[in-house]
Structure 1
């Protein structure tokens, strides 16, 4: 089980800060730097930029301090018997700085961990164990999906935010010109970079995000097909129906009917005797 000793979200130090642990902290320490800092760890030294993270080993001597007047960071002190093997499995670098991908999402996860600490409760340890596992796995996953190309890597955090926005607000009618302007790119170059990073055109992600919402509404609501189309950002019901049929393989009405039909239980559940008695 992973254990969280303490954590801090958006810890602000208007007059700066110096952290000096010549014998290590006794815990694994994750730090997301939101301000410039000078860092020394295990005999090496770096000047790190905002949106950089590090994980220090429990026995690593380390020291860091602000390079600008104020300093802000997120941090976790954690440990547990499974920590070392999990970090090794995830191939997370230790005692060296790593540029953060999607730093806003990392920061939100630290905030959720802090809320779990404040909330307490009889299941707190298990919740924190699950949340820490999730945090570290997401950290490892983000490292693996970093684009290899240097000229696209610089846009990866902003493109990730845009893609998250498309899937979290599919009902909004974004134009490609608006999305390109978000990160200061021309329409054509934005489309090129987006496709290189995510492997599909931005227009296809816009369609998929709307259709995923449409499928959810058809499965879980009683709105008419026209209402579903409007809630998913379509101005034309006929266009919605054609696009749904093209990408999903069924009309919206047929999809709703299929979703309502009872489905057979998996074999494992049958063998476990989970079928209701006759």
Structure 2
């Protein structure tokens, strides 16, 4: 069972903000920072960067404060006897870096919606969202090899996947991260197990499959809509990735739409 007492996104405070509860709350408190802040950890005040998460158990001393012109965070105060919370292996009162703060921020916004509206499956939805949030916290805390570029790499990959038809190049991607093209390729492959341009190609081919399944576009039209200037180049890459030509893929899926643009499979 989970019960949310209060949840808030983008709570903004002035530079003199201090949150000091020596005896702690009578429930759980999870804080995710969006600006740098100072936290009381192991008997001293320490500075932590933006996109840090810290979990406080009931009756644990809580002290944190702004360290700039303003302090912004997401936070949730809640009760839970679920194992993913009660038996968590996350540290208590010690901030750690988040791998994907945008994802966690989205979960917070959904928790706010579920908390504020009485819907048929409100309790179940909150349980699933909190469980997912704690999974993401665990992934971040136990992530080996976390580096300063990881969050930016995630944003780059999300941009590629949401718009694969863009004119992507290694140079353009490197500029996105403000690093050299060579270092980008090493970092990207190490992080995701695939080169950046292979990722672009895979995303384009995935999009092409959707168009082919719809059966309402010619091969030439699909090639253009997936970011290819030449149909032959599209067909070569499609076959390299899938093992089949676009035409044969249509036939195999039962969505053959006839001859398109005079091309043969």
Q: Same fold (TM over 0.5)?
A: yes
Retained in 1: the 8 A contact 2:169–2:197?
no
Q: 1:137 aligns with which of 129, 135, 138?
A: 135
Q: Which runs of no fewer than 5 residues in structure 2 stay unpaired?
A: 256-265
How many Å apart are 1:90 and its aligned residue?
Answer: 6.2
How many Å apart are 1:43 and its aligned residue?
Answer: 4.5
3-state SS of paired residue (1:9): strand
Are positions 1:121 and 2:119 aligned together? yes
Are positions 1:71 and 2:71 aligned together? yes
Paired with 2:222 and 2:38, the residues of 1 have a C-alpha distance of 53
Aligned to 1:201: 195
Structure 1 residues 253 and 2, CA, compared in 2 at 3 Å: closer, same or farther? farther
How many Å apart are 1:144 and its aligned residue?
Answer: 4.3
Q: How many residues align?
A: 255
How many Å apart are 1:205 and its aligned residue?
Answer: 0.8
Q: 1:180 aligns with which of 155, 161, 174?
A: 174
Q: 1:212 aligns with which of 183, 202, 206?
A: 206
Structure 1 residues 40 and 200, CA, compared in 2 at 3 Å: closer, same or farther? same
Aligned to 2:31: 31
Which piece of structure 1 moves more, 114-123 or 162-171?
A: 114-123
How many Å apart are 1:11 and its aligned residue?
Answer: 0.6
Aligned to 2:155: 161
What do residues 207-237 of structure 1 show as CA deviations (whole Å, max 9, x unaligned)? Answer: 1111122223323453222222222211112
Retained in 1: the 8 A contact 2:15–2:66?
no
Paired with 1:31 and 1:116, the residues of 2 have a C-alpha distance of 19
Paired with 1:221 and 1:128, the residues of 2 have a C-alpha distance of 40
Retained in 2: the 8 A contact 1:30–1:53?
yes
Paired with 2:228 and 2:86, the residues of 1 have a C-alpha distance of 47
Q: CA RMSD in A?
A: 2.3
With the length of structure 1 as denominator, give the TM-score of the two structures.
0.82
Paired with 2:86 and 2:223, the residues of 1 have a C-alpha distance of 47
Paired with 1:55 and 1:17, the residues of 2 have a C-alpha distance of 19
Q: Which runs of no fewer than 5 residues in structure 1 stay unpaired?
A: 262-278
With the length of structure 2 as denominator, give the TM-score of the two structures.
0.86
How many Å apart are 1:96 and its aligned residue?
Answer: 0.7
Runs of 4+ off more than 6 Å: none
Paired with 1:89 and 1:249, the residues of 2 have a C-alpha distance of 47
Paired with 1:221 and 1:29, the residues of 2 have a C-alpha distance of 52
Paired with 1:186 and 1:106, the residues of 2 have a C-alpha distance of 29
Aligned to 2:62: 62
Retained in 1: the 8 A contact 2:97–2:141?
no
Structure 1 residues 226 and 118, CA, compared in 2 at 3 Å: closer, same or farther? farther
Retained in 2: the 8 A contact 1:101–1:157?
yes
Are positions 1:243 and 2:237 aligned together? yes
Paired with 1:189 and 1:243, the residues of 2 have a C-alpha distance of 25
Q: How does 1:78-93 map to 2 (within 5 A)?
A: 78-82=78-82, 85-87=83-85, 91-93=89-91
Paired with 1:248 and 1:76, the residues of 2 have a C-alpha distance of 45
